[in-house]
Chain A
Amino acid sequence: MTPAVELVEVRKSFGATPIIRGVSLALEAGTRQALIGPNGAGKSTLFNLITGKYRVTTGRIRVKGEDVTDLTPYEINRRGLSRSFQVTNIFTRMSVFENLRCAALWGAGYRYSFWHRVSAARAVNERAETVLEQLNLTARRDVPAGVLSYAEQRALEIGITIAGGADVVLLDEPTSGMSRSETEHVVGLIRQVTAGKTLLMVEHDMSVVFDLADRIAVLVYGEIIAHDTPERIRANAAVQEAYLGVPQGVA
């Protein structure tokens, strides 16, 4: 079966500094995977390479078998791969509903149309309402996204990512800065909205990682040192040494 995302010997340097040092990774379609690693390992850089925000120095990236190495972010998005951001990245002056509607437009085939009315775009409006309910933000429907609370903005961040109907979803630290109860809500949300899809998630909260992930990739200093099931990662000596350490509390 074709992997949902496949990286072949991907390298990325900023100036003379190599950040990603030869990553090869294949994500099986329909699985939930986590990318973990210490700060500065290159997790966000890897996300930016996969989604077209950065260009690789060498190597190839394929999404669902198609080479996307030299494509722009929007071209990659149109091929069914969508991402969220570590620092909340929403349309602040538009209402919550408008945020979701804009995110759903391209997937519904509206492109750069100036001959359709959005209010009559049924599929898009229904999609936005559905996501609004999933996010538990129905009461905040018409509020400008910029005035939402931090946790609500994080939820909207995920909502914008999935509203377009992408089947490969990349989430960059979806629970960062959240309380325990907010984290639990977001984990439930992620589980719900990525059912049947391929998920790759950067996450620091190990309980979230072991709760959600079918497989875990460990990135240390720009290299994948392990890519395996949670149980084997937990038992992996190299991972323990490089990353999990003692105080992280895997339990």
Chain B
Amino acid sequence: MSTVSTRPIAVAGVARAARVRRYGIWLAAAVVLLALPQLIRTGTAIAIMNQMGIAVVFALSFNMLLGQGGMLSFGHAVYFGLGGFIAAHVLNLAGRGTLWIPVPVLPLVGGLGGLAFAILFGSFSTRRAGTVFAMISLGVAELMAASSLIFDRFFGGEEGITTNRSKAPLLLGLEFTRDRQVYYLIAFWLFVSAIAMYAFSRTPVGRMANAVRDNPERAEFVGYSQNRVRFVSFCAAGFFAGIAGGLFAVNYEILTAENMGLNASGAVLLMTYIGGIGSFVGPVIGAVVFTFLQSMLSDYTGMWLLYLGILFLATVLFVPMGLAGVLMLHAPAWRARRIGRLVGPYLVTGALALVAAVGIIGILEMIHFVVAADTTRPTRRLFWVAVAPRTLTPWLGFAALVVAGALGARWAAPRAAAAFTEASRPAATS
């Protein structure tokens, strides 16, 4: 009967393991957030990390709508932008001494601004779901774009609203003159917002948001108004988008109507979807990857938006569960301790796919060069090689790479898939 006597200990162990898992991840996240600027010290890196932190808060708030609540919004940047504008104006008032609002609480001001407008616009848009909701969100975004031209004292017209974080009163002597100091402010609000958004998904109304997403009719027959559930989620999402907007105001000290435009709304949709809407970490991964590509690619090519578009299309077509979903697929192999067996097949397939990608990128860049770039120079550098797009040789070369890479990947992909299936089998119990 030894199994009986050990069971309580085992149960306690399981409970402890669950607690460690639950708090351990947040603790690890906090450590990473604190350590990052010590490990990566260049100014550009800090600037990109600030941008990432803001994007993560924004993408997480967007997933409260899309992933958790089943609401596809084409106008979520409205709440980001309005929160940001309000924060910028409040910062200017604080700088003139009219208000005593120090910089660290400014994101909260942005959040309350986002919340106020989410209450206003949510009060009618959440009465509908699905396509109608999406259309209303688009209408609201257009409405705000038009308003930005009309109310140019608030939105600052073409130049936008500039502000200066160094003029605000200090809280506990904390100064925000350098990017690195702003980093810690963003990290703090990112951490707090992420915990709050995660906790929201574990509350009664957060669970019912999932229920309404899955089956709005049935939710009504267990006592919940689907409109009200959507409204509460919408307000929460607007609040956190406003916090992200407030962080943006502090970080960049400028807001323009573009920040709440359709492009910004589209970007948050792309990054959330690429990361994966099915899990909490998906938008985090998506925002980090998207921001990284955005800032890296735009240094190298004028066609970076095209590549992000291709990435989005590939996600929608081949891995609709997003990057996080792909990682989750490997959980069984990880548990069975067979993840190592996948490295080889994945590397081979990945390398061959990369060859094909280099070929495709080369051809696209040459097209771009011939069509759009200045005609005075005969060559440009592509993949560390000088290429002359007006001769035949590079076209043949890149086409050969595409063919070879694609054929190779077609040969290797089924083998990688077989290795995946094999590794994902449940481990033998004995």
Contact = CB atoms under 8 A, between A and B. Distances in A.
Contacts of B207: 98, 101-102, 105, 118
A167 B366 CA distance: 72
Contact of A114 (B218, B225, B236): B236
A93 B204 contact: no
A42 B203 CA distance: 40
Contact of B204 (A77, A85, A91, A112): A112
Contact of B225 (A72, A115, A116): A72
B411 to A, nearest CB: 34
A218 to B, nearest CB: 26
A168 to B, nearest CB: 13
A31 B207 CA distance: 34
A160 B224 CA distance: 13
Interface string A39-79: 00000000000010000000000000000000011100110
Contacts of B218: 85, 89-91, 160
B205 interface: yes
A150 interface: no
A93 B225 contact: no
Contacts of A164: 222-223
Nearest to B226: A74
Interface stretch (B135-143, B208-216, B383-391): B208-216
A103 B222 contact: yes
A241 to B, nearest CB: 36
Contacts of A107: 223
Nearest to A124: B204
A116 B220 contact: no
B199 interface: yes
B204 A110 contact: yes
Contacts of B202: 117-119
A83 interface: yes
Interface in B232-255: 232, 236
Given A91-B211, A91-B215, A94-B214, A74 B223 contact: yes
A114 B207 CA distance: 10
Nearest to A145: B214
A180 interface: no
B215 A98 contact: no
A74 B220 CA distance: 5
A221 interface: no
Interface in A147-172: 160-161, 163-164
Interface string B75-89: 000000000000000
B223 A77 contact: yes
A105 B208 contact: yes
Given A72-B220, A77-B221, A83-B221, A113 B203 contact: yes
Contacts of B210: 91, 93-94, 98, 102
B217 interface: yes
Nearest to A82: B221
A96 B229 CA distance: 21
Contacts of B228: 112
Contacts of A92: 214-215
Contacts of B214: 91-94
B200 interface: yes
Contact of B221 (A73, A99, A115, A121): A73
B102 interface: no
Contacts of A111: 204
A106 interface: yes
A77 B222 contact: yes
B203 A115 contact: yes
A105 B202 CA distance: 13
B111 interface: no
25 contacts: A72-B225, A74-B220, A74-B223, A77-B220, A89-B217, A91-B210, A91-B215, A92-B215, A93-B213, A98-B207, A98-B210, A102-B210, A102-B211, A103-B222, A105-B207, A106-B223, A107-B223, A114-B200, A114-B232, A114-B236, A116-B203, A118-B202, A121-B204, A163-B222, A164-B222
Q: Top 5 closest A-B pairs, CB basis? A: A106-B223, A110-B204, A91-B214, A73-B220, A77-B223
Given A51-B221, A92-B214, A94-B214, 20 more contacts: A73-B220, A74-B224, A74-B225, A89-B217, A91-B219, A94-B211, A103-B222, A106-B222, A111-B204, A112-B224, A113-B205, A114-B205, A114-B206, A114-B232, A116-B204, A117-B202, A118-B204, A118-B206, A160-B218, A161-B221
